[in-house]
Amino acid sequence: MTPQPASPRPENILRNFVDGRFVEPDGKLFRDIDPATGRTVAQVHEADLPLVGRAVTSARRALAQGWSDTPVRERAALLRRAADRIEERFEEFVVAEVADTGKPITQARDLDVARAITNFRTFADVIAAAGQESFMTELGDGRRALNYAVRKPVGVVAVIVPWNLPLLLLTWKVAPALACGNAVVVKPSEETPATATLLAQVLAEVGLPRGVYNVVHGFGAGSAGEFLTTHPGIDAVTFTGSSATGSHVMRTVADRVRPVSFELGGKNAAVVFDDIDLDEALTGLTRSVFANTGQVCLCTERVYVQRTIFDDIAAGLVERAAQLKLGSPADESTTTGPLISQAHRRKVRHYFEVAEQAGAEVLTGGGIPELGGDLSGGSWIEPTLWTGLTNTDRPVREEIFGPAAALIPFDTEDEAVALANDTDYGLAAAVWTNDLRRGHRVAQQMRVGISWVNTWFTRELRSPFGGAGLSGIGREGGESSLHFYSEPTNVCVQL
């Protein structure tokens, strides 16, 4: 298993990246499938236990050889070079992201790759401007002590990212981890391995020392994910994905008392009051329900609408759903791609069946579209809206992670708040109202990590982001990320 310097995708094989080199495969390969067509776009080398161990060892070696002591200005400069290099290879990243996810090319360009560039630049700025508290303590008898903190990297961080926004969420974690002087071992989703591999090439090109960024491909249990999270050389784990997997990872690292940062599932609510601008609210709701085919942890799956405008909102959303265009990701007019896999489509369809069994009225969708041609083998599903469900029904309580939402009426503000907060999750909420005081009042009552008013998916990357309940632990973004990826040592000097 001798590592060779080479490109990440020779003959359509995606390889592991360890100690600054791509490793020639000598073990199991698995398929990387295009969700839009069902065709295999690459073979992927699955990392075994020894190779994951080598990746962790290389990361620890990089720290010992001085990466963690690299001056902040040099780390920030490297992050900026990485952003510049992704920008230079922009279309390569777009093509890789579209092939892995099936999402429309316009979204990959405007959101996924663009945001990856912004992530590196943002955390270069954050780390360059970050400071630490200091205190002068009066000890009596004229004596004083100066207390100040020194920021140190956590060490080797396991970075486990999902398939829905693979490059965006990868760089959201890797950029602050590197900014703080850590080394990382990345385990991308088995569904979307390409851009993490391509990023390895970019980081090597801009001068990141060997071993600081490693990529191991594979699955969860009995594969690279389990091998990585159980490795004693891992100092922290950052994970975005399902709540069930997050709970398992937490149990895995508990005995070694390793810090974790989890951004997990969501069952997000939108609350729509009758004083809104109808067109503005419909535009926002259409995005929040159907963006990325509903495969965003922040998407809205519960829409609570004041009864006086319930019929108008329902009719308007049905009309907007009919205007969505499912089609080839390469077509710039396509608005909606497939689900990530056939397995995930089976899960989403199961919830369609459960909803109908619970007495839901299907306003639109509920089935599988016939697209034909090259797209006939893809994991397509119809955008779907229901009425007739309540907060006691499974499709309203459990995360579906597809383009589906339940519309439920309410009468009073207090009722709306109670309905929105009646969930085990706590990631995001959106409040739609033209009453400024009500907007502030209701948004602050939402038990979530981020509460929008008259918008959705608007992000300030320096602000804290995360969830409550089953939606996660910890906060990322700006200095919140620095708090996770570094540890302060207080130095106390008697003067």
Residue 27 has a pLDDT of 83
For 356-408, write each residue's pLDDT tens digit: 999 999 999 999 999 999 999 999 999 999 999 999 999 999 999 999 999 99
Confidence class of residue 83 from pLDDT cuts 50, 70 and 90? very high
Mean pLDDT of 262-280: 97
For 429-479, write each residue's pLDDT tens digit: 999 999 999 999 999 999 999 999 999 999 999 999 999 999 999 999 999
Kindly give, in sequence order, each residue whose CB lies less than 8 Å from that of residue 166, ignoring residues fewer than 6 positions away: 97, 100, 101, 112, 188, 189, 192, 195, 196
CA quadruple 138, 139, 142, 147: dihedral positive or negative?
Answer: negative
Mean pLDDT of 274-301: 98
Report the chain's C-alpha Rg in angstroms: 24
- Helical spans, DSSP H, in 277-393: 278-290, 310-323, 342-357
- How many CB atoms lie under 10 A from the CB of residue 74? 10
What distance in Å separates the CA atoms of residue 487 and residue 154, rounded to the nearest whole number? Answer: 6
The torsion of the CA quartet 349, 390, 318, 34, rounded to 10 degrees, works out to -30
DSSP three-state, residue 233: coil
Residue 2 has a pLDDT of 40
Q: In what order do the strands lie in the sheet with 156-160?
A: 3-4, 21-23, 17-18, 213-215, 183-187, 156-160, 236-240, 260-263, 472-473
Least confident of 2-6, 105-109, 284-288, 480-484: 2-6
For 326-343, write each residue's pLDDT tens digit: 999 999 999 999 999 999
For 222-242, write each residue's pLDDT tens digit: 999 999 999 999 999 999 999
DSSP string covering 409-464: EE-SHHHHHHHHH-SS--SEEEEE-S-HHHHHHHHHHS-SSEEEES-SS---TTS-
Least confident of 210-224, 249-263, 310-324: 249-263
Residue 26 has a pLDDT of 87
Judged against a pLDDT cut of 60, whether residue 4 lies above it is answered with: no
Judged against a pLDDT cut of 50, whether residue 1 lies above it is answered with: no
CB 51, CB 1: distance < 8 Å: yes
Which residue has 């839901």 as its token pair? 360
Backbone φ and ψ for 52, nearest 5 degrees, come out as -60, -40
What distance in Å separates the CA atoms of residue 391 and residue 484, rounded to the nearest whole number? Answer: 35
For 46-77, write each residue's pLDDT tens digit: 999 999 999 999 999 999 999 999 999 999 99
- Of the chain, the end-to-end C-alpha distance in Å amounts to 57
Alpha carbon 193 to its chain centroid, in Å, reads 14
What distance in Å separates the CA atoms of residue 10 and residue 429, rounded to the nearest whole number? Answer: 44
> All domains of the chain, ordered by start, with CATH?
3-264+470-494 (3.40.605.10), 268-460 (3.40.309.10)
Confidence class of residue 3 from pLDDT cuts 50, 70 and 90? very low
Confidence class of residue 91 from pLDDT cuts 50, 70 and 90? very high
Backbone φ and ψ for 6, nearest 5 degrees, come out as -160, 175
Residue 261 has a pLDDT of 96
Q: Are strands 40-45 and 29-33 parallel, antiparallel or unpaired?
A: antiparallel
Mean pLDDT of 2-7: 40
Backbone φ and ψ for 188, nearest 5 degrees, come out as -70, 165
Judged against a pLDDT cut of 80, whether residue 10 lies above it is answered with: no
DSSP string covering 377-412: GS-----EEEES--TTSHHHHS---SSEEEEEEE-S
Mean pLDDT of 93-104: 97
For 160-188, write each residue's pLDDT tens digit: 999 999 999 999 999 999 999 999 999 99
What distance in Å separates the CA atoms of residue 440 and residue 452, rounded to the nearest whole number? Answer: 10
DSSP three-state, residue 235: coil
Residue 80 has a pLDDT of 98
Question: Nearest-CA neighbor of 287 among 321, 254, 243, 258?
Answer: 321
Confidence class of residue 490 from pLDDT cuts 50, 70 and 90? very high
Q: Which residues are catalytic?
A: 263, 297
Structure tokens that stand for 146 in this block: 């100066």
What distance in Å separates the CA atoms of residue 84 and residue 120, rounded to the nearest whole number? Answer: 9
Residue 7 has a pLDDT of 44
Backbone φ and ψ for 325, nearest 5 degrees, come out as -115, 115
Strand partners, 134: 148
What distance in Å separates the CA atoms of residue 303 and residue 393, rounded to the nearest whole number? Answer: 14
Rounded to the nearest 10 degrees, what angle do helices 194-205 and 166-179 cross at? 40
Mean pLDDT of all residues belonging to the chain = 96
